[in-house]
Copies of this chain bind each other. A is one copy, B any other.
Amino acid sequence: MREINYLQGIREGLHYVLEHDPTTLLFGQDVGAFGGAFKLTEGLQEAFGIERVFDTPICESAMLGCAIGMATQGMRPIVEMQFSDFITTALHQLLNNAGTRHYRTGNAVPMVIRAPSGGGSGGGPFHSEELEAFFCHMPGVKVVYPAFPSDARGLMLSAVADPNPVVYMENKTIYRAVKERVSDPFEPLPIGKARVCHEGMDAVVIAYGAMVHEALRAAGELQASDGYEVMVLDLRSLKPYDLDTILSAVSATGRALVVSEGWRTCGFAAEICAAITESAFHLLDAPVRRLTAPDTPVPFSTTLEARYRPNATTIADAVRQLIEF
């Protein structure tokens, strides 16, 4: 067992697929010799050569278009958005071009888009966005979002092996902060499987990405301060999401809080609320609640950003309200 951080988990996943699958390629702005804006891809160009790991000009649409072309000709490209935010210059390539292609033509488009996401470290409005609601709204696109180093590795393997466009979301704030002891070798983690990462019967907190760690802290706090046993469910895949596991959790607890650091209106949390309500209305002892970022641009200052993002304290408060409903 070695301890690695979240960023290393992603990097090991990339290393693995580049090593084991000669059809894989990794490209993006500054991902080569420089190792990427977060040094996440450091060493990969050195290990696999400039033909496999390379820098591109600043052109998100051409990058995604190129990946579609490659994916339909026997390769498995992995494209890095330097920041998830910049994909809004080229969403048509994902929604319209990659996402519709199999449905329209029967041609598979196995490509992975790495989307470093999320706030919490002073990125400001354009380097902090959580765009999973956009991605999950797109037919033909899959979305994964690991929260732990081991899942980051396993999901990278599955995302790359999947014959469809997969957005691989990564939370920048936990790149180095979240660590885990992992064993080697590692295996693909099936897309679409959530995981209960803390047991409890009083309520369930459904989370993903960095919010899983806030939820775990909240669960610990609630246990210590109120004696509440709160289940924490890490979705890990957002599309498809694991409705079965969600419903089991709801049936076990009767109370659910969905946490997301994305915007509230039409956010991913709304989807989970709606799905639970539709499928498990009779199991609910209280309405499903959302705890999300508000509908404001992601603010820059520490004071505002701290208020903007859900955290262990606000989660614990929301869970208390839910239990005491």
Interchain CB contact (< 8 A) of A270 among B85, B263, B270, B284: B270
Report if A69 contacts B (CB, 8 A). no
Shortest Cβ distance from residue A208 to the other chain B in the assembled complex, whole angstroms: 13
User: Would you give the 0/1 interface string for A99-136, flagging 1 where the beta carbon is closer than 8 Å to chain B?
Assistant: 11001100000000000000000000110000001101
- Tell me which of A86-94, A174-182, A222-230 binds B: A86-94
A91–B140 Cα gap in the complex (Å)?
A: 20
Contact partner, A88, options B95, B136, B267, B287, Cβ 8 Å: B95
Bitwise interface map of A from 234 to 267 toward B, beta carbon under 8 Å scored 1, else 0? 0000010000000000000000000000010111
What number of A residues sit within 8 Å (CB to CB) of B?
A: 47
Binds B, one of A4-12, A14-22, A272-280: A272-280
Residues in chain B near residue A218, CB distance under 8 A: none
Interface-located stretch among A41-49, A152-160, A289-297: A289-297
Q: Which residue of B lies closest to A262 (CB)?
A: B137
Chain A window 75-86, contacts with chain B (Cβ cutoff 8 Å), 1 for yes, 0 for no: 000000000011
Main secondary structure of the interface of A (DSSP, over half): helix
Instruction: List the B side residues contacting A277 at CB < 8 Å.
Output: 273-274, 277, 287-288
CB pair B296–A287 under 8 Å, yes or no, is: no
- For this complex, 21 residue pairs linking A to B, each with C-beta atoms less than 8 Å apart, are A61-B89, A85-B96, A88-B96, A89-B90, A103-B296, A103-B297, A104-B297, A133-B266, A137-B263, A137-B265, A137-B267, A139-B295, A140-B297, A265-B271, A266-B271, A270-B270, A270-B273, A270-B274, A273-B273, A273-B277, A274-B277
> Which A residues have a C-beta under 8 Å from some C-beta of B?
61, 85-86, 88-92, 95-96, 99-100, 103-104, 125-126, 133-134, 136-140, 239, 263, 265-271, 273-275, 277-278, 281, 284, 286-290, 295-297
